[in-house]
Structure 1
């Protein structure tokens, strides 16, 4: 019974976050230009009236109409994908995090991850993701594949509140050792913190897994408040430490086996080195009940970089081992 109620609450949270996450905060932030102040104010007033009318009823019962209303937001400034590419970079240069090969102190690493890692909410579950450009999040395809249509919701400390996100492109293979990616375009103002990726990773290297595992979300009162409709509630990001145990499938899709504890919900979140650079994207775990042990697996950032470039995204990258 509790599991059924949790699923209902989660689906309700998805609907509320999707319907309210972008438009209301965006209206608060959007400042009318002086030359068109009256016109913009009138448009905003009419839009607010339509939103209020919609919310008096049951917007979840008419998702198509609600979607159309939200997409008509007069303050929206989201970058639209080009016709021949999954993504077209904006004119404004992307913020580039400092990655000079020097290990970060604990506070700087924690702050960077808090700003760049997000909770991804789909129709029937949650996962994690991270910003690779001001309005672009990469995650696992299996995190968002249950989403109806092409919309999900993301939330994180680098954002002002829940935001709708469009699935621009995705790819998934079969079983272990296969590609499992999705690229999301987040609507509204971009974040100031993106993560650098590196293809340099070594055995016994210290790593940190960041994300929103379900094992911890169940005990997070802020997440419960979010489920109840408090859109200002921010679940806590979980970070765990470990080491690289093995680099597998070097001649195929390089996979990082590591000891940083992860569980369902960590999927799509970054595995980073001590310099805060993404060395892989956490994708699955292997648990042995008989041996009371488990291992986490991340697809190495080398292929994530290739996937992003294939889809018109130029992520921030750096060579060299952390500490060089």
Structure 2
């Protein structure tokens, strides 16, 4: 006999607090914990994005601040350069008087080549009043020059870097001692400047030099500098003998090399003890152009900054002064040209500077051209090819030698 469930059974289960077996509590459901984990990941991603955004904004603000500071610094330097350019348009006496009053912006070593005493007063040695800076006794006159040991040592102590403050800016070239206290260079290196600075390792510090005489006409390009003070330097000997195929070498301070010399950078920043290395290149005499004055075409590489440097033979005797280069646009070849020492000797003689001349000698074995009469010859035909002075300035007036 079957028994029917009592209707009061569900009510009794409810009163007893029991639930059906299919009902699961909320905290035990996987969907709840999945949603909670997803929300946590979303919050973490939002926090990381916010941190990256905040870092980017801070960096952006820092860059903007540094850019503004650099723009302000550049503007100050532009204003400083504009004041210098405006000052250079005035008379030399006014430049000499007003130059110490020019105050540079922060971060500029001014003057760049002054010694410690001049730097403390903020005055260029070239612009100082003669009465305020007495000229020391020349050591060249009081001390005998020590003979350098070897060919390289002779050239390194006699070849100097020449710096001149021209209207266009700072000009760099080379030069060499021709007598105690006298340096010769190209006239286009110093331009219209009345003073210059010469330096090498042998001088020990930048030396102020006064432009005694300069000529830049009729094929000549010479400037004579009188050096104030400095150690005893053995001057170079001039030779009027030069031969085709003779081995020669050029000494100087080409910008392509000197600009990368850390000692040159230190010198421009005011380190008076710094001096760049003298650069040596060698070659042979290709031809001697018969003009007045005669020109030596040689294969020793010269470039911007070599102007005024010596071209010497194997004995260390100066056979010419490097002055300009000649470029062939079609073949991309370069010829280096130097004015013969005979013309330089005439210039120095007219200036009253005693120089040492080498005794005449015959050509080396194997030379194919006799010695050239460098004191007079037929002028060479003019060329329409570009001629460039070896300090990088394009030749003017139909190819300036």
Structure-1-length-normalised TM-score: 0.71
Tell me how far apart the structure 2 counterparts of residues 122 and 236 of structure 1 sit (CA, whole Å).
Answer: 19
Tell me what 1:140 maps to.
186
- Alpha carbons of 1:91 and 1:119: their partners in 2 closer, same or farther (altered >3 Å)? closer
Counterpart among 151, 160, 169 of residue 109 in structure 1: 151
Q: How many residues align?
A: 258
Distance apart, 1:14 and its partner CA: 8.8
Which residues of structure 1 form unaligned runs of 5+?
Answer: 25-50, 80-89, 99-106
Counterpart among 258, 263, 275 of residue 303 in structure 2: 263
- Alpha carbons of 1:308 and 1:96: their partners in 2 closer, same or farther (altered >3 Å)? farther
1:158 lines up with 2:202 in the alignment: yes
Counterpart among 211, 229, 238 of residue 188 in structure 1: 229
Distance apart, 1:158 and its partner CA: 2.3
- Alpha carbons of 1:164 and 1:14: their partners in 2 closer, same or farther (altered >3 Å)? farther
SS of match in other structure, 1:267: coil
- Alpha carbons of 1:72 and 1:238: their partners in 2 closer, same or farther (altered >3 Å)? same
Tell me what 1:239 maps to.
280
Q: Comparing 126-135 with 181-190, which one deviates more in the overlay?
A: 181-190
Deviations 1:204-260 (A, max 9, x none): 10000000011111211111111111111110111100100111125x211100110
Distance apart, 1:58 and its partner CA: 3.7
Matches within 5 A, 1:173-322: 173=217, 178-250=219-291, 252-318=292-358, 319-321=360-362
Tell me what 1:170 maps to.
214
Deviations 1:163-204 (A, max 9, x none): 110000110116xxx000000000013433110000000001
SS of match in other structure, 1:16: coil
Tell me what 2:136 maps to.
76
Deviations 1:56-76 (A, max 9, x none): 45435xx89x511x6533462
Deviations 1:253-280 (A, max 9, x none): 1110011000011000000000000000
Tell me what 1:35 maps to.
none
- Alpha carbons of 1:57 and 1:232: their partners in 2 closer, same or farther (altered >3 Å)? closer
- Alpha carbons of 1:71 and 1:118: their partners in 2 closer, same or farther (altered >3 Å)? farther
Tell me what 1:15 maps to.
111
Which residues of structure 2 form unaligned runs of 5+?
Answer: 1-73, 86-107, 366-401
Tell me how far apart the structure 2 counterparts of residues 286 and 13 of structure 1 sit (CA, whole Å).
Answer: 37
Deviations 1:30-82 (A, max 9, x none): xxxxxxxxxxxxxxxxxxxxx4xx6445435xx89x511x6533462259xxx
SS of match in other structure, 1:59: coil
Tell me how far apart the structure 2 counterparts of residues 261 and 320 of structure 1 sit (CA, whole Å).
Answer: 26
Distance apart, 1:307 and its partner CA: 0.8
Structure-2-length-normalised TM-score: 0.58
Q: Indicate conservation of the 8 Å contact 2:253/2:279, yes or no.
A: yes
Distance apart, 1:292 and its partner CA: 1.8
Q: Indicate conservation of the 8 Å contact 1:272/1:278, yes or no.
A: yes
- Alpha carbons of 1:156 and 1:311: their partners in 2 closer, same or farther (altered >3 Å)? same
Q: CA RMSD in A?
A: 3.1
Tell me how far apart the structure 2 counterparts of residues 15 and 146 of structure 1 sit (CA, whole Å).
Answer: 20
> Which structure is larger by alpha-carbon Rg, 1 or 2?
2
- Alpha carbons of 1:153 and 1:193: their partners in 2 closer, same or farther (altered >3 Å)? same
Distance apart, 1:91 and its partner CA: 6.9
1:121 lines up with 2:182 in the alignment: no
